[in-house]
Amino acid sequence: MDFLKKHYEKILLGLVLAGLIGALVFMPFYIASDNAAMTELTDGIIKRTPAELPALDLTVETAVMGRLHGTYTLDLETTNRGFNPMEWVRNQDGTLVRAGHNGPQLVVVTNTTPLYLNITLDSVTTNGNDIPTRYAVGVERQAAKIASQRHKVPRFVSKGDKANETFALVDVKATPDNPDADELTIKLVDTGEVVTISKQKPFHRVDAYSADFRYDPEKKVFHNRREGDKVSFNGTDFIVDGVSQNELILQDQSNQKKTARPFNQ
């Protein structure tokens, strides 16, 4: 007991030294084992066949790219007028509409009708050898400015007569046995054109057009309007400045501005 009391420090130091020596002896084996474990782990990660990755869900990204490539329209008319104030006008019925949503540019042409010059040989009158044969030639001028002049009017002519306001009789190809088969050669006063007519062969020529159209903002409809006619809508007077097969031209009487409206057949 006295020995332990006198030499316990030396004994303790010896035990510590013995432990250190044991640790040093075991250390190479531990290092080798750890290296083997690391090598096995590394080989297992590097050399193993990787599992197939699940398909990526790119729905959100695809939607974003679609918006980037598409157009984006800002509605600054119907929902926001803070940065683009618009002019408004009042219709005849008191309703307010945006400027540009009224006026002659909204006229819709629904039809155009040709207006003809029709010349027909209606009858042949023979009164004997000494009296020239009289021909009743019907003249219908549908494009005449005055309405009373648009209906058919008979013109009685014989060979050698002077020209009337529409034509002059130039020659007659007579058929004595059948006067109704006579052919007349006439010359038109306005163009100088020479044409032949008979009972079976009338003459027709398009001289102008009339138009049917409507103005939807006031629900107004106009029929058979021709050049020179006056119409009123949107609180303004207009004159029909021209009508063709495919177009109507309106002239504003307040500023002489002309607006052409197409007829889409």
User: What's the average model confidence in pLDDT over 125-148?
Assistant: 88
User: What's the average model confidence in pLDDT over 106-135?
Assistant: 90
Residue 113 pLDDT greater than 70, yes or no? yes
- Which helix (H) or strand (E) segment holds residue 213: the answer is strand 203-215
Which contacts of 233-241 are long-range, i.e. CB under 8 A and separated by 24 or more positions?
Answer: 234/91, 234/92, 234/102, 234/103, 234/104, 235/92, 238/104, 240/211
Is the Cβ–Cβ distance between 214 and 220 less than 8 Å?
A: yes
pLDDT, one tens digit per residue, over 173-215 is: 988 888 888 999 999 999 999 999 999 999 999 999 999 999 9
Residue 231 pLDDT greater than 90, yes or no? yes
| Distances, alpha carbon 2 to alpha carbons 5, 6, 7, 8, 236, in Å | 5, 6, 9, 10, 137
Helix (H, G, I), strand (E, B) or coil at 3: helix
At 1 the pLDDT is: 62
At 262 the pLDDT is: 93
User: What's the average model confidence in pLDDT over 58-62?
Assistant: 87
User: What's the average model confidence in pLDDT over 230-259?
Assistant: 93
At 6 the pLDDT is: 67
Concatenating the DSSP letter of every residue in 85-140 gives ---EEE-TTS-EEETTSSSGGGEEEEEEEEEEEEEEEEEEE---TTS--EEEEEEE
Name the average pLDDT for the chain: 85
Between CA 138 and CA 118 the distance in angstroms is: 8
User: Tokens in use for 254?
Assistant: 């307040």
At 139 the pLDDT is: 96
User: Tokens in use for 164?
Assistant: 């009337």
Residue 158 pLDDT greater than 80, yes or no? yes
User: Tokens in use for 150?
Assistant: 């648009």
Residue 125 pLDDT greater than 80, yes or no? yes
Q: Which of 21-25, 178-182, 213-217, 250-254 has the lowest mean pLDDT?
A: 21-25
At 169 the pLDDT is: 94
The length of the chain, given as a count of residues: 265
